Chains A and B, each alone.
Chain A
């Protein structure tokens, strides 16, 4: 991975590094983390994460974003199989999967008695717990991390609920910058059909029912997901999203994903047909 060698040389001690120990505990002073502001913005959206040295990263962080029903989980299952068959170790992450608060958020959602700000902060806790205990250890050991959603969904959900946009992005200033961010873009109408087919119902939160957009479940879903989609359009340019047509066939979307990920990881031939276990996803 030639890109990452380049990254390492970018982390050089700078005059500003002398200011850092004042805010850093002695335990971490023992192995000083010399991150210049410029270098840190290459790894993080804003601020460097406490006690973490970005030069240790040897793996790749690949993010798949998109609304419910955009095909994210299907694509991640296929990509994981493909990467493993190519000899890459894979770790996955996703919302509400942290050991720290994953289940607590499930409970909050079930009870539906939580305010928007508290929920946003619980999701942030869940996110950073996974960054620190799942994503970073994997990236340090050269693993490819496939993230099923990332800060962009979380920021969009907060913003459409009226939380200040700068506040939301400030919250995630210490998030790692992904190597690749894919956006599987689908129309809310298509997503509705796919989601309905999965469960024969639409959940309270998927439809944004907490926002009182419409008493009609269909229109609530469409309006909510359209608002989210608009936020994604705002973020897409700033964060160099790779936008893919999520309405194309699974195999066509997968081919494009493999090509871009192949470039990143230096895999030349990106031919792939799923094993029998995953063949049902291939349509």
Chain B
């Protein structure tokens, strides 16, 4: 009975009209021909290195792809810089400004590329905002609504590294942590390194909460780089029909 019921009620795939993104409504991956691969994880988890290597692998293979980074839209950049320099940002405005930035990138890069049948690689995605802004105290429900317009990734890799490893990688490589980066606005510690550590611990906790609900593919960030990259490539090859993004064979003369 129930099966029949749902079979009758299940709406058919909507006509072409609905493939246009509707701001404020979630965009499922079947609404466009492209594919979206996302890497997430705390600072120092190794995710950017791995995404770079994945990108090289795909580029060398000649696949149609584009790469996009968190916080890279020129439109909102000056506001973000001013807000950070003058420390005007609160958890709420920090979150909103990054959402505006992401919306711009989403509407002008990510969505058009996905509609245009590209493979899109994103270094950090909405989960970065969920983890970081929740760590700052923003209500989870509000955050989820805020980013509801974002297309759902085909694969979300979550690079998990123990707190000590990640924090050590960052602290040893950077001369000075920035105010918001270290979570100084939360007033947890006057010592930047200590504040950073506490902040990262919370972010890690928030990431871990999303593993099941957002179907993260968890990878061990402490593995050797090449081993990790092998795992990543295998997963991409098994989950995404890469042939669709392959270069067209040159026509025979």
Interface residues of A (CB under 8 A from B): 23-28, 46-51, 99-101, 104, 108, 114-118, 120-122, 124-125, 128-129, 132-133, 158, 161-164, 166-168, 170-171, 173-174
B149 in the interface, Cβ–Cβ < 8 Å?
yes
Q: Are A121 and B103 in contact (CB under 8 A)?
A: yes
B97 in the interface, Cβ–Cβ < 8 Å?
yes
Knowing A25-B137, A47-B139, the reply to whether A129 touches B24 (Cβ < 8 A) is no
Q: Are B187 and A27 in contact (CB under 8 A)?
A: yes
Q: Are A125 and B137 in contact (CB under 8 A)?
A: no
* Overall SS of chain A's interface: helix
Q: Which 5 A-B pairs have the closest CB atoms?
A: A167-B24, A164-B24, A27-B187, A170-B145, A121-B100
**A83-B54 Cα distance, complex, nearest whole Å:** 65
**A174-B96 Cα distance, complex, nearest whole Å:** 12
B239 in the interface, Cβ–Cβ < 8 Å?
no
Q: Which of B153-207 contact A (CB under 8 A)?
A: 186-188
**A264-B73 Cα distance, complex, nearest whole Å:** 46
B4 in the interface, Cβ–Cβ < 8 Å?
no
Q: Are A163 and B142 in contact (CB under 8 A)?
A: no
Question: For the side of the interface on B, what is the size category?
Answer: 35 or more
Partner of B104, one of A48, A115, A128: A115
Interface residues of B (CB under 8 A from A): 22-25, 75-76, 78-79, 82-83, 88-93, 96-97, 99-100, 103-104, 106-108, 134, 136-142, 145-146, 148-149, 186-188
Q: Are B187 and A23 in contact (CB under 8 A)?
A: no
A-B pairs with beta carbons under 8 A, tally = 128
Q: Which of A49, A125, A163 has the most CB of B within 10 A?
A: A125
**A46-B141 Cα distance, complex, nearest whole Å:** 10
| A161 closest partner in B (C-beta) | B23
Residue contacts A-B, CB under 8 angstroms, 17 given: A23-B139, A27-B187, A47-B141, A50-B91, A50-B92, A50-B137, A50-B139, A115-B103, A115-B107, A118-B104, A121-B96, A121-B99, A122-B100, A125-B100, A163-B23, A163-B24, A174-B92
Q: Are A100 and B142 in contact (CB under 8 A)?
A: no
**A40-B139 Cα distance, complex, nearest whole Å:** 13
Q: Are A128 and B92 in contact (CB under 8 A)?
A: yes
Q: Are B79 and A116 in contact (CB under 8 A)?
A: no
Q: Are B104 and A132 in contact (CB under 8 A)?
A: no
Q: Are B83 and A100 in contact (CB under 8 A)?
A: yes
Shortest C-beta distance, A219 to chain B (Å), equals 25
Residues of B within 8 A of A49 (CB): 92
Q: Are A167 and B23 in contact (CB under 8 A)?
A: yes
Shortest C-beta distance, B29 to chain A (Å), equals 19
Knowing A118-B107, A163-B23, A164-B24, the reply to whether A100 touches B79 (Cβ < 8 A) is yes
Shortest C-beta distance, A103 to chain B (Å), equals 9
Q: Are B136 and A25 in contact (CB under 8 A)?
A: yes
Knowing A117-B107, A121-B100, the reply to whether A23 touches B137 (Cβ < 8 A) is yes
